[in-house]
Structure 1
């Protein structure tokens, strides 16, 4: 799953980006080494971090990734391994930051693997409801349906 996401990031239609891939709390090299090798194959834009014993869950992993992010980075995008990444995602997102009042953008999310099992299918439906309905209503009317 993560390899698919990394491949999609490698096809981004954007001139200057780096990808910091962090695997956390996964001590077995059988799971993380193939991802490390894949990042190497994708080239120098891709940095791999294997972080063991990370505290703070996703926030702890993000802290570590930020320490390894280029100091001149202007925009930070966070993508989970199960997200669908379209080639124009970054190109479409970045112009929102031209407005100096914008400091954070919650981009729509599309998840992969809905055909993997009934549970994945149901989870994707719930995610779609949240992002395609709830977050749109939040953006347009400052109101949200609680999921």
Structure 2
């Protein structure tokens, strides 16, 4: 069994991924299907075995992720176990602050754009005039 497949599965499951989708993604990425299924079954048996043992550490405020769907009664038991444990202060959650609405119209920007467009038109017109009247300009210069 390949350790890289197990580590990919563990990491993705810890970040809330769906195990079957992760396995399918690994298979689509070119990993052998047998290796992926073997790693998934090994990992799911390890996680289900760990979820049967109650956590001893207070440093884990969040419950372990289980691959098997638990019945509502089991989740209620886990909730009652959490309420009996000493309360661990939750880390502050980042809140999404709405940005103040800004106007897309910049009063000073419109004038600058107009001046830039006028200068651009003058330069393009000058270039066209030089190309059209190059013979007359060369005679005027004396070359």
Quickly name the TM-score band, shorter chain normalised.
Answer: under 0.3
| TM, length-normalised to structure 1 | 0.20
Kindly indicate which of the two structures has a greater share of residues assigned to helix.
2
| TM, length-normalised to structure 2 | 0.20
Q: Which has the larger radius of gyration?
A: 2
Kindly indicate which of the two structures has a greater share of residues assigned to strand.
1
